[in-house]
Amino acid sequence: MQHQTTIDPVNLEFTPEVERATRAIFERVRHVMPDVEWPIHAPVIAAINELKRVRNATILAHNYQTPEVFYGVGDITGDSLALAQEGARLDTDVIVMCGVRFMAETAKILSPEKTVLLPDMDAGCSLAASITGADVRRLKEQYPGVPVVTYVNAYADVRAEADICCTSSNAVKIVESLKTDRVIFIPDGYLGRYVAKQTDVEVILWEGACEVHERFTAEELRGYRRDYPGIHIMAHPECPPDVLSEADFVGSTSGLIRHIADERPKQVVMVTECSMSDNVAVEFPDVDFIRPCNLCPHMKRITLPKILRSLQTLSPQIEIDPDTAERARRSLERMLAV
C-alpha cells in the first residue's frame, strides 16, 4: 500500500504510449472537449489510472465533475445517492472522492477502515456551510419530538444530530417514511419547499441554499422557451420554486439523466450545474443540449493534477471524530434502508 511512485505531474508527456492508452476515452469525450485539450489531460489520466491499480484505489465521481475527470478516471459515477450506495459496497483500500467534502465524509462514515481522499479539502458546499450541529440542537429544542431529516449536503456533525438523511432523489420518500405529521428539514430551504409540495407532511424549513441553483431565474427559463420553441426544460429541486414551476420536469441529477433516456427530447436545457450537460451529452449525442453555465466553484476544485497528487501522497485524507461518525452513520444507514 505505501508503494512510492516517481510520476511527476508537471512533466508528464503526451507520448505515443499515452495516446494509445487513452484513445478509447478520447473517442468518448471528443465531441464535448476541444481536441487541443486532450494532449494536456491524457498523460495525467494515464498516470492516475496506472496509480489506481498500484494503490488498489477506486475513484468516485459526481455528475458535476468535468468530462476529463468523470470519463477519464471515474470508476463509479452518479448522483449523491448512487455514490453513497456504491461507496459502501466497495472492496478497495483507497477511495478518492471527486466531488465535495460532504460526499467524501459520507464515504468515510460508511467505510471507516478505508483511506478516503479528497483531492482538495476546500471543496465545500454553500448548503453544508449554512448549518452546524449546534443549530440542529437548537431546532430540536424549539420543536421537541419532531424528527430531523437532513439533506445529505451537510457535514458529519449535522448528520450526527439528525434522525435520517436524504438526497434529492429520495427526499419525499424519506420524509413520508417517518410516518409523522411534521418534520424539520435541513439545510436546503428550496428542496424543503419542493418536498412540502409533494406531501401532506408539514415541513419546517431551514433557509440554506445552493449558490449554484439559486442563481437561476424564472425569467431566464422563459427566455429559453422564447429562443428555442419546443425545448424541454429540466431542473434540479435545489432551484427556487418559481424556477421549478417553469420546468417540464424536476429531478435529482440521476433523475434528469433517466428522464432524457426515457423521453429522448430533441432539445433540452438542464437547469443545474454546468458540467452535467457535457457529461450527459456524451451519452446522448442525438440530443441537442442548450448549456447555461452556472459552475459550482467547489466541484471545480477537483482537477486531474490534484487527483494524481492525492494518489501519490495519499493525502488529504478525511478524518472524522469516531463518536460523531458513528452517530452520523446511523442517520445515513437509516436512509439506505428505506
Chain contacts with ligand SF4 (rule: CB under 6 A):
100, 125-127, 153, 210-212, 238, 273, 296, 298-299
* Interface with ligand 13P, residue 303, by CB under 6 A: no
Judged by CB under 6 A, does residue 167 bind ligand 13P? Answer: yes
- Candidate residues 80, 106, 170, 312; the one interacting with ligand 13P per rule CB under 6 A: 80
Cross-strand bridge partners of residue 271: 235
- From the list ligand SF4, ligand 13P, none, which binds 157 (C-beta under 5 to 8 Å, kind-based)? none
Tell me the CA distances in angstroms from 74 to 67, 77, 307, 318, one per residue in order: 10, 6, 11, 19
Residue 167 Cβ vs ligand 13P, minimum distance, rounded to whole Å: 4
Contact window for ligand 13P (CB under 6 A) among 104-112, 128-136, 167-175, 180-188: 167-175
Q: Which is nearer to ligand SF4, 44 or 212 (CB)?
A: 212
Near ligand 13P by CB under 6 A, which window of 105-113, 165-173, 219-227, 313-321?
Answer: 165-173
Which of 253/277 has CB closer to ligand 13P? 253
Closest separation between CB of residue 128 and ligand SF4, Å?
7
**Reduced 3-state DSSP string for the chain:** CCCCCCCCCCCCCCCHHHHHHHHHHHHHHHHHCCHHHHHHHHHHHHHHHHHHHHHCEEEEEECCCCHHHHCCCCCEEECHHHHHHHHHHCCCCEEEEECCHHHHHHHHHHCCCCEEECCCCCCCCCCHHHCCHHHHHHHHHHCCCCCEEEECCCCHHHHHHCCEEECCCCHHHHHHHCCCCEEEEECEHHHHHHHHHHCCCEEEECCECCCCHHHCCHHHHHHHHHHCCCCEEEECCCCCHHHHHHCCEECCHHHHHHHHHHHCCCEEEEECCHHHHHHHHHHCCCCEEECCCCCCCCHHHCCHHHHHHHHHHCCCECCCCHHHHHHHHHHHHHHHHC
252 near ligand 13P, rule: CB under 6 A: yes
Question: Residue 126 binds what, of ligand SF4, ligand 13P, none (CB under 5 to 8 Å, by partner type)?
Answer: ligand SF4
22 vs 126, beta carbon nearer ligand SF4: 126
CB atoms closer than 10 angstroms to residue 255: 17
Q: Does 253 bind ligand 13P (CB under 6 A)?
A: yes
Region for residue 83 given its phi and psi (left: phi exceeds 0; alpha: psi -120 to 50; beta: otherwise): alpha
Is residue 92 a contact residue for ligand 13P (CB under 6 A)? no
Choose the one of ligand SF4, ligand 13P, none that binds residue 22, judging by a C-beta under 5 to 8 angstroms depending on kind.
Answer: none
C-beta closer to ligand 13P: residue 251 or 316: 251
Q: Are 75 and 60 in contact (CB under 8 A)?
A: yes
Should residue 58 be labelled a site residue for ligand 13P when binding is judged by CB under 6 A? no
Query: Does residue number 79 form part of the binding site for ligand 13P (CB under 6 A)?
Result: yes
Which one of ligand 13P, ligand SF4, none interacts with residue 79, CB within 5 to 8 A by kind? ligand 13P
Give the interface segment with ligand 13P, choosing from 26-34, 68-76, 78-86, 140-148 (CB under 6 A). Answer: 78-86
* 168 makes contact with ligand 13P (CB under 6 A): yes
Residues in region 134-163 near ligand 13P by CB under 6 A: 153
Which positions touch ligand 13P (CB under 6 A)?
63, 79-81, 153, 167-169, 210, 238, 252-253
